Structure 1
Amino acid sequence: MPSSFSLLGERLHNRRFAVVSNSQGLSGSGTVFHYLVDGDAISSTYQGGRIRIGTQVGRVTGADTIELLFQCLTLDGELLSGWSRGTVAVDKSGCTSLSFVWGWLSGATGGGESNYVEIAERDCHFP
């Protein structure tokens, strides 16, 4: 029987996500996140919009929760880093969505909330 960690990993591994909303953040329309999962370890790359290149590293913390550290280089040459804690959900059509609370650690102050939806062949929308 698969563990809850492996089920969550299946929802994220080698999948791409688009930003639905991001209060106070730099990622937005045009930013795409690509996640990879190995056991309870998570990594990702992201770019687009105001982000030239970004990376994340983190871990699965529960049946539907993750935590990440992120860093990025913006198109304006800013180097920023921060933390996030997220919840992974699946809707009735099988699309995965991510909801985060996050904050800056370096290069900026404050934080916010963000929501992403899976980029899939089927039509996915944030719940």
Structure 2
Amino acid sequence: MDILFPRIRERLNNRRFIVTGNAYGLSDASTVFHYKVERDSISGTYQGGQIRMGNLIGRAIGPDTIELLYHCLTADGEILAGWSRGTVGVDYAGRTILTFVWGWLSGATGGGESSYVELED
């Protein structure tokens, strides 16, 4: 099967990201997200800061758009789950950036917007 949205795979697969803005969420600059992409399927892990461990799964739904479901175990032992819809872009330095609108589904209420930048190796 062909990759429907090759730019998403190119920009996300086996790359790590940190938070650059997340006023209402738990993740912060010490939380590292690691993405994997297979065809239009996206998976990943995240941890650091208030997040002891987290997982995400999603799909590409357009040339630069993704949707994800995520869940995590916090440093305080809470289990939370949520959804997000995001855009994959590129900043002035050529690094991949992600911007999301998100909300909680379980364990918390509310939502917000967040942004991320690719970690340089």
Q: TM-score, normalised by structure 2?
A: 0.95
Deviation at 1:90, TM superposition (A): 1.1
Residue 34 of structure 2 corresponds to residue 10 of structure 1? no
Q: Percent identity?
A: 63
Partner residue of 1:66? 66
Residue identity matched to 2:47:
Q
- Which residue matches 2:76? 76
Runs of 4+ in 1 over 6 A off after TM superposition: none
User: Do residues 34 (structure 1) and 34 (structure 2) align?
Assistant: yes
Inter-partner Cα distance in structure 2 for 1:17 and 1:29: 9
Separation in 2 of the partners of 1:76 and 1:24?
Answer: 17
Q: What 5-or-longer segments of structure 1 have no aligned partner? A: 122-127
State the superposition RMSD in angstroms. 1.3
TM-score when normalising by structure 1: 0.90
Deviation sequence 1:9-54 (CA, Å, 0-9, x none): 1100000000001121000020000000000000010000000000
Q: For residues 91 and 100 of structure 1, what CA distance do their matches in structure 2 show?
A: 15
* Alpha-carbon distance in structure 1 between the residues aligned to 2:68 and 2:5: 15
AA aligned opposite 1:13: N
2:99 corresponds in structure 1 to 99
